[in-house]
A and B are shown apart, each in its own frame.
Chain A
Amino acid sequence: MDMGIGLWCLQSTATSPRSFGQAYQELAEDARLAEDNGIHSLWLSEHHGYYDGYCPALMPAAGAALAATESIQIGTGVLLLPLHEPHRVANAANLLNEQSSGRFQLGVGMGYRPVEFEIKERDMSQRLKLMNAGLDVLRTTTQTPTWVGISSEKAAERAGRRGLGLFISGAFSKDVVNTLIQAHRTAWAQSNPSGDTPPPVGLLRNLWIVDTEAERRQALDWVRSSYLVYAGLGWGADNTGVDFVSQIETSMDEVEKSATVGSAEEIATELDGYDVDLVVCRIGYDQPPRTALTEVIERIGRELTPLVQDLGVQW
């Protein structure tokens, strides 16, 4: 099981204001720190037109992170494909991989904010059609490893049928995660009866390494408050127990229950139950002080990564 970190959103929030220039400079610094500590990958996230500057253009940001590093993988988790021109995405992905000797991972998703479709003058009711058309273009124009961000069994099945990797939200319980993985694997097996290696599964987890109960409570509060951003963005998912639009407190309780917070050994034991190729530790919250963020990056690399390297999918 590989260990990545995410999600770098390059924001300046009301909670933690900063200059955007600083945010992009710290992206390069964090990527180098993660690389130096043996972390597999760093993942970026996209939104448009939000007050806090949530990164709307992941490819130039990925270019900066890749240019600043030598071995770590940089991924989009996720790029909102229906809001882009797919041929441009493919060209940028190919260039990123050419420049970085194959260190770029392309995660794509559908998007869910009506205002973002309005900004790009696209019909949100047609987002599935736009997504599928975009994936068709990517299939023929890029060899870049492609993952699909999903929040429903149907979406997991679609990704499986296409032979694409899965990128699962950090807000879901273990039962929901396992259901989504099963849907993905079953659909892939039915579409590829002679195939031997299913496409990879990546799992975003709210995760923090702590030593004391006080630190644990602090980390869980950071996790809870981080979802205020998603409440502001209007994120929710059907049939998962998570809906930040209508049930914010209940959803935060659900997120807290699914968070993986403890010693490196406790976290490794918890992750042993997931049949995935990659865990992306969601640590890019806006509340922790920078020293806490850099410390947890180092600990994920030095303490957790060695413990989980033999876990997960074994093909």
Chain B
Amino acid sequence: MVRLLLDLRRISEPAERERLAREADENGIWGVVVTGPQGGECVEASAIATTTHHVTIVVDVDGNDVHPTTLAEEISVLDQITQRRTMVIFRGTSTSKATIATLLSGLPSQGVILSPPPAQASIPIQSPEDIPQTKLPEDVTQLATIIDQYRDSQTAFLIVSWERPIKELARHAVGRAASTDFPQMVADMADQIDPID
């Protein structure tokens, strides 16, 4: 399966980001991707976490010009706030990434251990190049083709941009991303019975 991460990084209005995050939360989208100015990434993620309950908060952080322990502390506190719903996209040197990954696994790095520790046993940390991203088409048939391609290529995560209602994305893409035998006719029937404006 491929887990869908709704990209909120280019949504400029805070209220609109929160609305989309809440809709993703309510409709079973696996994650939302957020960021902020350098140093403010976990602030933005924290605000989104406070207005949601289930969705994974994927925070895109700039790891340059910051002590790795400082960044790890921010992410660890964020994981307490999200209650184990944190995932990280890290931009920075491989050395810093390795240090932060160790700390976010609750293990010591050069004698330092995070306090508080992350709420999760280990917070997933990815590089930007590890996760493909795509702007999904509005046409349902084209959407299905793209989701099938990523699902069948053994991709773990896919960052998606989507400009139509979140419920439509959830109805047509989440089940398809999870399974090769997604019954498209059920989603099509749902569109007839419960149209999404």
Task: Please give the residue numbers on chain A whose beta carbons come within 8 Å of chain B beta carbons, in ascending order.
Answer: 10, 12, 20-21, 23-25, 28, 48-57, 59-64, 66-68, 83-85, 87-92, 94-96, 98-99, 119-121
Q: Which residues of chain B in 113-130 are interfacial with respect to chain A, using CB atoms and an 8 Å cutoff? A: 113-117, 119
Q: What are the residues of chain B within 8 A of A10 when measuring CB–CB? A: 77, 80, 116
Contact A99 B77 (CB under 8 A): no
Contact B49 A99 (CB under 8 A): no
Q: A48-B73, A94-B40 are in contact. Are A60 and B66 (CB under 8 A)?
A: no
Q: How far is the CA of A20 from the CA of B116 in the complex (A)?
A: 7
In the complex, B14 has a CB within 8 A of chain A: yes
Minimum distance in angstroms from B3 CB to a CB of chain A: 23
Q: What are the residues of chain A within 8 A of B84 when measuring CB–CB? A: 21
Minimum distance in angstroms from B121 CB to a CB of chain A: 14
Contact A91 B38 (CB under 8 A): yes
Q: Which residues of chain B in 74-111 are interfacial with respect to chain A, using CB atoms and an 8 Å cutoff? A: 74, 76-78, 80-81, 83-84
Q: How far is the CA of A300 from the CA of B125 in the complex (A)?
A: 44
In the complex, B42 has a CB within 8 A of chain A: yes
Minimum distance in angstroms from B22 CB to a CB of chain A: 12
Contact A92 B115 (CB under 8 A): no
Interface residues in B, total, Cβ within 8 A: 36
Contact B43 A95 (CB under 8 A): yes
In the complex, B39 has a CB within 8 A of chain A: yes
In the complex, B37 has a CB within 8 A of chain A: yes
Contact A23 B70 (CB under 8 A): no
Contact A20 B43 (CB under 8 A): no
Q: A85-B66, A88-B66 are in contact. Are A63 and B73 (CB under 8 A)?
A: no
Contact A84 B70 (CB under 8 A): yes
Minimum distance in angstroms from B154 CB to a CB of chain A: 33
Q: How far is the CA of A119 from the CA of B111 in the complex (A)?
A: 9
Q: What residue in chain B is nearest A53 (Cβ atoms)?
A: B116
Contact B40 A56 (CB under 8 A): no
Q: What are the residues of chain A within 8 A of B78 when measuring CB–CB? A: 57, 60
* Interface SS of chain A: helix
In the complex, B50 has a CB within 8 A of chain A: yes
Q: How far is the CA of A59 from the CA of B69 in the complex (A)?
A: 15
In the complex, B168 has a CB within 8 A of chain A: no
Q: What are the residues of chain A within 8 A of B39 when measuring CB–CB? A: 59, 85, 87-92
Contact B81 A64 (CB under 8 A): yes
Cross-chain contact of A99 among B14, B42, B69, B112 (Cβ < 8 A)? B14
Q: A49-B115, A68-B50, A95-B40 are in contact. Are A56 and B66 (CB under 8 A)?
A: no
Q: What are the residues of chain B within 8 A of A63 when measuring CB–CB? A: 42-47, 50
Contact A57 B76 (CB under 8 A): yes
Q: How far is the CA of A235 from the CA of B114 in the complex (A)?
A: 21
A56-B116, A95-B44 provided; 17 other pairs, C-beta below 8 A?
A21-B84, A24-B80, A51-B115, A55-B116, A56-B114, A60-B43, A62-B43, A63-B45, A64-B49, A67-B51, A85-B67, A87-B39, A91-B36, A92-B39, A96-B43, A98-B14, A120-B67
Q: What are the residues of chain A within 8 A of B36 when measuring CB–CB? A: 91-92, 95
In the complex, B65 has a CB within 8 A of chain A: yes
Minimum distance in angstroms from A149 CB to a CB of chain B: 19
Q: How far is the CA of A10 from the CA of B67 in the complex (A)?
A: 22
Q: A28-B50, A52-B115 are in contact. Are A59 and B43 (CB under 8 A)?
A: yes
Q: What are the residues of chain A within 8 A of B38 when measuring CB–CB? A: 87-88, 91
Contact A59 B115 (CB under 8 A): no
Q: What residue in chain A is nearest B17 (Cβ atoms)?
A: A99
Q: What are the residues of chain B within 8 A of A99 when measuring CB–CB? A: 14, 43-44, 47
Contact B115 A85 (CB under 8 A): no
Q: Which residues of chain B in 1-47 are interfacial with respect to chain A, using CB atoms and an 8 Å cutoff? A: 14, 36-40, 42-47
Q: What are the residues of chain B within 8 A of A48 when measuring CB–CB? A: 69, 73, 115
What are 16 pairs between A and B in contact, CB < 8 Å?
A20-B80, A20-B116, A21-B83, A24-B80, A49-B115, A53-B116, A56-B73, A60-B46, A60-B74, A61-B77, A61-B81, A64-B46, A84-B70, A87-B39, A96-B40, A120-B69
Contact B81 A119 (CB under 8 A): no
Minimum distance in angstroms from A98 CB to a CB of chain B: 7
Q: What residue in chain B is nearest A27 (Cβ atoms)?
A: B81
Q: How far is the CA of A10 from the CA of B81 in the complex (A)?
A: 11
Minimum distance in angstroms from B68 CB to a CB of chain A: 10
Q: How far is the CA of A173 from the CA of B42 in the complex (A)?
A: 38
Q: A53-B116, A55-B77 are in contact. Are A60 and B67 (CB under 8 A)?
A: no
The winner among B46, B47, B73, B119 for most chain A CB atoms within 10 A is: B46
Contact B40 A59 (CB under 8 A): yes
Q: Which 9 A-B pairs have the closest CB atoms?
A: A88-B39, A53-B116, A63-B46, A95-B40, A67-B50, A91-B37, A56-B73, A63-B43, A57-B77
